[in-house]
Amino acid sequence: MASLSNKPILILACIVGLCLLLGSAELQRLEQPAKPDGSLSFLVVGDWGRKGTYNQSQVAFQMGKVGETLDIDFVISVGDNFYDDGLTGIDDPAFDQSFSNIYTAQSLQKQWYTVLGNHDYRGDVLAQLNPILSKMDTRWLCLRSFILNAEIAEFFFVDTTPFVDKYFTHPGHSKYDWRGVLPRQEYLSNLLKDVDSALRESSAKWKIVVGHHTIRSAGHHGDTEELVSELLPILKANNVDLYINGHDHCLQHISSTYGQLQFLTSGGGSKAWRGDINWVNPDVMKFYYDGQGFMSVQMTEAHVDFAFYDLFGNVLHKWTVNKELHPAM
């Protein structure tokens, strides 16, 4: 079991988890201290939970090495944490088999901030939200939607699965656990209002939105049209800098034609879809890799540096976004 020194955050996480289990509409706020020099560094991984198979263990090993080099402050998981159908309950051995026993490097014994993916909704969704899991492994913190204040940046984690129509209208053989989401339109309306309000009120130097589903993607799933129509206008209106997601099992960087918004996919935590590319626009497509890997982000007030790594630890792509420290009035 991992041990963390920041007990107030863990206690708050348990309270937050209980509130969400009971049904809370308001976005919860958590605090993540930056380094003494004001900088932040973290890793992003998604679509990973396969009990070490499909090179999940190898990706985890490289994450540990990069995490040590960068002295990371935390890890973000962008969903599909447990395949194929989430957890069966809080006592499901898959929690240890796919998480605790896989990400064992010392550098990864930091807080994991986690959102749900569509596969997680196909199991006992409340199990992943249950604060008991945080007692079993203190790194684990999974909420539907929440805000993380990290001093120079604010992260807005958004529960994207309930936006996707087909999970409701054409679920096929899959059974989704919609407890806490129904009535759906009320849930989505409140969530969009809360995200818009929080982004508008934010004075953070960097605004980063995190969700499971893609907004822009050249991968198997492509763009998530419901997010393009409902969430993207809010990101644009509130000058969001990065949208980070998983869902497509690839690594990719797509720039926008408006402002500095960058779309970053880190869905290569285990099984990847080699050769599965739907769309490439050279004007906005900065990088696409249809294999396994993860992403790192290093931040100061003046710039954000992000990089993508394959399962051998090779840097495949890196990019810097700059911002004026004192913009003109």
Binding site residues for Fe cation, as ranges? 47, 80, 83, 118, 212, 247, 249
| DSSP string across 283-306 | TTEEEEE-S-EEEEEEE-SSEEEE
Q: Which is catalytic among the residues 119, 213, 221, 253?
A: 221
Q: 31: Cβ–Cβ under 8 A, 6 or more apart, which residues?
A: 9, 12, 148, 149, 150
Residue with tokens 């099992």: 249
Rounded to the nearest 5 percent, the helix, strand and coil shares of the chain are: 30, 25, 50
Q: Which residues contribute to the annotated binding site? A: 47, 80, 83, 118, 212, 247, 249
Q: Are 63 and 21 in contact (CB under 8 A)?
A: no
The span from the CA of 316 to the CA of 251, in Å, is: 9
Phi, psi of 144 (to 5 degrees): -70, -60
* Terminal alpha carbon distance of the chain: 50
221 is catalytic: yes
Catalytic residue numbers? 221
